[in-house]
Amino acid sequence: MHFRKKHSLPGPFASPWLVIGAAVILGVVVVALSVRNITRSEQYMANILLEKGGSLIKAFEAGARTGMRGSAFRLQVLLEEMADQPDIDFIALTDREGNIVAHSNNEQVGKRLFGAEVTTDLLRPDTRPRWSIFGQAGKRYFVVYREFAPLQGRHARRGHMMPHMRNHAWDNWQQPDGPPPIIFVGFDVQPFEDARRQDKQHTMTMAAIVLLLGVAGFISLIWAQNVRRARKELESTQALSDEIVSNLPEGLVVLDAAGDVSFMNNAARAMLGDGTAAHDAHEAAASCPPLPPVLMHAVRQLDTQHILSGRETVLSGTGGPVPVSVTGACITGEDGSLMGKLLLLHDLSEVRRLEEEVRRREKLAAIGSLAAGVAHEIRNPLSSIKGYATYFGTRFAEGSEDRDAARIMVQEVDRLNRVISDLIGLARPSDLSLKPSRPESLAENVLRLIRQDAAGKNIDLRFAAADDLPQAVLDPDRVTQALLNVCLNALDAMESGGVLTLSVDTDSTSSEGRRLLRFKVRDTGCGITPETLSTMFDPYFTTKSQGTGLGLAIVHKIVEAHGGEIAVQSSVGSGTEISLILPLEPQRNANS
């Protein structure tokens, strides 16, 4: 027997569309959150630069208000000093046409700050700081800009300027009645873009990690579900297989590679005489009785034969000797190594019983053929013998030895005639006359027939019937004959008095699904020896000096004709109980 290991694990992709859908949803969520995070980060960095640029503009406006009391030179110096910070590329002041009127690099004055495409309509400046990214001379700048209004502070308002503040500088930078100039603070855009790029990379990396972790977690969840489901199915399958193996009608014995018994089901335990039953596989493996020598010999034979089939032997079972057929095989792994040995024990008790039944039927058939050939030939001379014996008996005086001899001759002829009648009745087919009958009425009638014989032997007759007994379809005459024969045998077993109990009840449903009726005859006589139990229903077997040996054989035939069976329980000195178990409804072939 080759044992192949199968590795079958539940896959996490048992439902691929579910995984794909979950991954898509998770991906959309992660991408949306990443985009939102990147946008917020860019906005945060832009706000920082915007606030810094706005602060510089306010500082320059404050300086401009102070510088107006001096000269434009001071304002230029202030402009250059403020633009001399590491992250500031320039500070410029332009008119509405984009022409530079002041610049941190004095050489740029009079030029256009940006190209012609950057117009006031595009910039839409007002009093609030704005930002944008522009390019100039192949370089890009983060530019914060707004209208330049140094005279709109809290110390001076448009239209209410102090006379000493009107000077040449203000006249150059802003006409009081004209549109205000625009001030630009240019930052190097490279740190902003580097930070934005790093933030994007970090955000995308984290998003990818979150996505992978989410998909992995979802797959792990499905995997765990499948594993849990597979474990439950495995436990259910294992419990079912353990239940099946433990309750197999065949005996099963498993040995490990060392030859020790590792498992034994209940049938094998019963065959080996162990009355304890294992309730599960662990118990069946934990408490295994030792194997008898005959089975150990079979195990040793497997070392050379590998397969053992059809070896018949007898084991000491719980109910007595059990004939079994032993089949064995070696269990090997994929690499050919020995993993253990297997013994299968088939109970042959039913086979032996059927064989014995066949032999008994063959014996009855032989007796029937003999009876059919000679019964009529014997009966005719017996009639003549009885007639002449009766005639000669009348020729002798009453009380003479010759008259007694003639009477004994007539009695023996009558007994021989009854034996022939029983023999013919045993040999011919049983033609049953089935009709609905009350089983308790049949039993009471039998007790009435044997009441005189029981009273003569000081035997107490008792009757018991179950409540609500149903009618049974049977042959009342044949069943009465069978019960009468069994009861007469019970009376003969109680020579010094006793109790004979006849009870009627229903038995559990048979394996064919039929309801059964049971007549039970119990006596307190001498009992039956085990040797006699196996042959008590054979024709001509008797333990009585005046018996013919056909009474119980006829009982067996009547019960068999009804499709029933006979159960006998007896122990020497404790009495005997014989049960006639009949179906409540006949079989289809009851008359055959």
Residues 325 and 263 occupy one common structural domain: yes
Half-sphere exposure of 281 (CA within 13 A, CB side): 11
User: Poorest-confidence range of 131-140, 257-266, 415-424, 549-558?
Assistant: 415-424
Residues 50 and 188 occupy one common structural domain: yes
**What's the pLDDT score for residue 248?**
78
**Which of the listed residues 304, 320, 347 is the one where a domain comes to its end?**
347
Query: Given a cut of 90, is residue 580 above it in pLDDT?
Result: yes
Greater confidence (465 vs 173) lies with 465
Q: What percent of the chain has pLDDT over 90?
A: 10
Over range 31-56, report the average pLDDT.
81
Query: Given a cut of 60, is residue 184 above it in pLDDT?
Result: yes
Q: Provide the mean pLDDT of the chain.
A: 78
Residues 497 and 476 occupy one common structural domain: yes
pLDDT in tens, 275-285: 665 555 555 55
Residues 185 and 61 occupy one common structural domain: yes
Query: Highest-confidence range of 58-67, 421-430, 537-546, by mean pLDDT?
Result: 58-67
Query: Highest-confidence range of 12-26, 87-101, 210-224, by mean pLDDT?
Result: 87-101
Domain with residue 357: its CATH number is: 1.10.287
Our count of domains for the chain comes to 4
Geometric angle at alpha carbon 430, from 424 and 435, rounded to 5°:
135
Residues 42 and 190 occupy one common structural domain: yes
**Which of the listed residues 403, 427, 451 is the one where a domain comes to its end?**
427
Greater confidence (503 vs 3) lies with 503
Query: Given a cut of 70, is residue 545 above it in pLDDT?
Result: no
Domain with residue 321: its CATH number is: 3.30.450.20
Residue 572 near residue 528 (C-beta atoms within 8 A): yes
Residues 39 and 168 occupy one common structural domain: yes
Detail the DSSP E strand segments found in 336-447: 338-347, 435-437
Query: Given a cut of 70, is residue 368 above it in pLDDT?
Result: no
Residues 299 and 370 occupy one common structural domain: no
* Residue 288, domain member (yes or no): yes
Rounded distance between C-alpha atoms, residue 520 and residue 82, angstroms? 126
Its pTM stands at 0.45
Over range 42-53, report the average pLDDT.
82
Rounded distance between C-alpha atoms, residue 366 and residue 561, angstroms? 19
Residue 517, Cβ neighbours under 10 Å: how many?
A: 25
Over range 330-358, report the average pLDDT.
84
Residues 326 and 362 occupy one common structural domain: no
**What's the pLDDT score for residue 162?**
40
What contacts 133, CB < 8 A, 6 or more positions away?
Answer: 140, 141, 142, 143, 189
Rounded distance between C-alpha atoms, residue 109 and residue 100, angstroms? 5
* Residue 211, domain member (yes or no): no
Task: Give the three-state DSSP class for 384.
Answer: helix
Which pair of structure tokens corresponds to residue 552?
């119980």
What contacts 112, CB < 8 A, 6 or more positions away?
Answer: 98, 99, 100
* Residue 90, domain member (yes or no): yes
Over range 378-394, report the average pLDDT.
81
Which pair of structure tokens corresponds to residue 2?
């080759």
Domain that holds residue 341: 247-347
Domain with residue 473: its CATH number is: 3.30.565.10
Rounded distance between C-alpha atoms, residue 538 and residue 361, angstroms? 10
User: Poorest-confidence range of 165-169, 229-233, 286-290?
Assistant: 165-169
Residue 252 near residue 244 (C-beta atoms within 8 A): no
Residues 304 and 157 occupy one common structural domain: no
Residues 513 and 388 occupy one common structural domain: no
CA distances from 237 to 12, 232, 244, 254 (A): 22, 8, 10, 20
Over range 66-92, report the average pLDDT.
75
DSSP 158-199: TT---GGG-SHHHHHH--TTS---EEEEEEEHHHHHHHHHHH
Rounded distance between C-alpha atoms, residue 101 and residue 82, angstroms? 17
Residues 38 and 182 occupy one common structural domain: yes
pLDDT in tens, 137-151: 678 888 888 888 876
**Which of the listed residues 301, 322, 347 is the one where a domain comes to its end?**
347
Query: Given a cut of 70, is residue 286 above it in pLDDT?
Result: no
Provide the residue type at 394 as one letter. T
